């Protein structure tokens, strides 16, 4: 594992490389993705069947073959153990309760002069959710993407997820049943994004797409933005941890490894002003890593993307964390609540040693679809807001127009937009005539 020291002459250049961790070179895959999207847009179902055979190693012979039915989901749910059913239900309820608090409300403001101004909040009609399914199945991602849409009031929710060798994951099917989703397709990658964004003869296009995925999925989402709305362009998972001498090294080691096992490109970053803690965490990782079931993935991630940064003090640790703007940020210090006001950029903030990042992944309540690669500087977690749109309401009275109309005319004339000015003047003139 790399250990960087802020006092080193090479720190600035080494830290720049860490800051650049989120740069996904889409140039290499852009032409491939564009070709796949064009095939979906042009050839519809035939292109889908071809892509499934190519990428998921099974042959779909008809439209029905790519569909997952509600009865399949019900059967899978009924066959889950009681423990898994209870865990899914607990996660669902906690995530729902949290997102219910986010639901925006329409509002109307009536002014004394008769003006009515406001905002009308309307759920989008049709949402598309992408749920990864290549290296592993992620029922938790389904819950995190479906529940905000359900809370928002979206009537039609479409789910696409790859099913290598045509073997749908039973837990994912059970989660689909729990969410009440009935339109599900066994399609993955850029093909799924194209299917949802453009639609085909058999499937209507959606209005917005959300959900994580690999570089092909991210690139496809970037291509279709504007045709539909998207949540964000997310990259590999990452965690940053601010820790002082009071932190538990074993806890930190496991939390760093919890990201490393996601993906070879995942980033695990420890920031501490205590060199003894850094060495202890490093030792724990070296001890734990060989026994991990996903050791091959985690080992590459730790070797190539993990970093431990030794700082001079807690404030410097905070400054470095803000510069990183990590997807997940854990604060394991003596008084983590005192650190919170100084955190400017992070997708999700975990305070205290019992707030392990995996709790946030599954059932704390807040969404785990988060900005990565430093984009937490300007992106927010997936929320109910993604699945609604807002319309401004403007209802002017004659009295109100009379009060502000001349100012509106002046601004329109200043911009040389004569029809704009005349549209208001015509109404003002009518008021004068009527008054006379």
Any alpha helices (H) in 57-120, and if so which ranges? Answer: 70-79, 82-100
> What is the 8-class DSSP label of residue 354?
T
Query: Is 100 assigned a ligand-binding role in the annotation?
Result: no
Query: Is 272 assigned a ligand-binding role in the annotation?
Result: no
Q: How would you classify the pairing of strands 328-332 and 267-272?
A: unpaired
Query: Is 361 assigned a ligand-binding role in the annotation?
Result: yes
* Residue positions counted in the chain: 436
CA atoms of 333 and 337, how far apart (whole Å): 9
Query: Is 415 assigned a ligand-binding role in the annotation?
Result: yes
Query: Is 246 assigned a ligand-binding role in the annotation?
Result: no
Query: Is 177 assigned a ligand-binding role in the annotation?
Result: no
> Any catalytic annotation for residue 327?
yes
223, 328, 368, 386: the active-site residue = 328
CB 327 within 8 A of CB 371: yes
Dihedral, CA atoms, 207, 209, 210, 214, nearest 10 degrees? Answer: -170
Between the alpha carbon of residue 352 and those of residues 178, 241, 256, the distances in Å are 32, 11, 15
238, 327, 330, 357: the active-site residue = 327
CA atoms of 269 and 248, how far apart (whole Å): 16
By C-alpha distance, which of 62, 34, 57 is closest to 46? 62
Query: Is 237 assigned a ligand-binding role in the annotation?
Result: yes
What token pair was written down for 131? 């749920």
> Any catalytic annotation for residue 328?
yes
Q: Which residues contact 18 (CB under 8 A, 6 or more apart)?
A: 4, 267, 269, 307, 324
By C-alpha distance, which of 135, 148, 50 is closest to 92? 148
Binding-site residues from annotation for substrate: 237, 259, 262, 328, 361, 415, 420
Enzyme catalytic residues? 327-328
Binding site feature residues? 237, 259, 262, 328, 361, 415, 420
Detail the residues annotated as belonging to a binding site for Zn(2+): 259, 262, 361, 420
């Amino acid at each position: 594992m790399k250990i960087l020291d802020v006092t080193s002459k090479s720190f600035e250049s080494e830290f720049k490389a860490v800051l650049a961790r989120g740069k996904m070179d889409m140039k290499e895959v852009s032409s491939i993705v564009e070709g796949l999207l064009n095939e979906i847009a042009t050839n519809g179902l035939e292109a889908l069947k071809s892509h499934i055979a190519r990428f998921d190693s099974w042959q779909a012979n008809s439209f029905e073959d790519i569909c997952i039915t509600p009865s399949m989901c019900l059967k899978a749910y009924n066959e889950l153990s009681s423990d898994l059913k209870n865990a899914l239900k607990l996660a669902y309820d906690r995530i729902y309760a949290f997102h219910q608090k986010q639901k925006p409300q329409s509002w109307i403001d009536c002014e004394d002069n008769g003006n009515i101004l406001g905002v009308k909040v309307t759920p989008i009609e049709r949402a598309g959710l992408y749920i990864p399914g290549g290296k592993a199945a992620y029922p938790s991602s389904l819950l995190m993407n479906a529940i905000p849409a359900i809370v928002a009031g979206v009537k039609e929710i479409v789910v696409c997820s790859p099913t290598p060798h045509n073997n749908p994951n039973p837990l994912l099917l059970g989660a689909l049943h729990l969410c009440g989703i009935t339109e599900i397709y066994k399609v993955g990658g850029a093909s799924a994004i194209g299917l949802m964004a453009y639609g085909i003869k058999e499937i209507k296009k959606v209005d917005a797409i959300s959900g994580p995925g690999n570089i092909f999925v991210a690139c496809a989402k970037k291509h279709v933005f504007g045709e539909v709305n998207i949540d964000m362009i997310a990259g590999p998972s990452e965690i940053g941890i601010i820790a002082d001498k009071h932190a538990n090294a074993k806890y930190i080691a496991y939390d760093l490894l919890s990201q490393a096992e996601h993906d070879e490109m995942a980033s695990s970053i420890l920031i501490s002003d205590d060199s003894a803690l850094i060495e202890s965490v490093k030792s724990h990782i070296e001890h734990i890593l060989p026994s991990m079931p996903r050791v091959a993935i985690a080992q590459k991630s730790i070797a190539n993307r993990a970093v431990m940064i030794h700082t001079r003090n807690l404030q410097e640790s905070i400054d470095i964390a803000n510069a990183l703007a990590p997807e997940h940020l854990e604060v394991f210090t003596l008084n983590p609540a005192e650190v919170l006001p100084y955190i400017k950029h992070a997708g999700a903030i975990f305070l205290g040693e019992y707030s392990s990042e995996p709790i946030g992944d599954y059932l704390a309540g807040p969404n785990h679809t988060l900005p990565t690669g430093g984009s937490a500087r300007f992106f927010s977690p997936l929320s109910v807001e993604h699945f609604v749109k807002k319309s401004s309401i403007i209802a002017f009275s004659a009295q109100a127009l009379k009060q502000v109309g001349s100012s509106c005319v002046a601004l329109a004339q200043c911009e040389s937009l004569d029809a704009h000015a005349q549209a208001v003047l015509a109404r003002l003139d009518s008021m004068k005539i009527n008054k006379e």
